[in-house]
């Protein structure tokens, strides 16, 4: 897969989400330059399912 259409496959891209983080990125599909992980689950807040539901107005 070449998500950004640059001619290099995704595994060869260093910053797949364009957030400026090269190397380990705790949310590689959503830009989150701050890399916050408030609950310590190793998934960035931007990718945390519970936080996503809250942002979308679906509280549980």
Structural domains in the chain plus CATH codes: 1-60 (4.10.1080.10)
pTM above 0.75, yes or no: no
User: What's the confidence (pLDDT) of residue 54?
Assistant: 58
**Nearest-angstrom CA–CA distance, 17 and 3:** 9
46 contacts 34 by C-beta, under 8 angstroms: no
**Nearest-angstrom CA–CA distance, 27 and 31:** 7
Residue 43's pLDDT band (boundaries 50, 70, 90)?
A: very high
Per-residue tokens: 36:
């916050």
Mean pLDDT, residues 8-15: 75
User: What's the confidence (pLDDT) of residue 9?
Assistant: 76
Half-sphere exposure of 14 (CA within 13 A, CB side): 4
């Amino acid at each position: 897969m070449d998500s950004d259409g640059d001619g290099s496959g995704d595994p060869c891209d260093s910053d797949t989400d364009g957030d400026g983080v090269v190397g380990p990125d705790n949310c590689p599909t959503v830009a989150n330059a701050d890399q916050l992980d408030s609950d310590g689950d190793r998934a960035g807040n931007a990718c945390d399912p519970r936080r996503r539901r809250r942002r979308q107005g679906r509280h549980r």
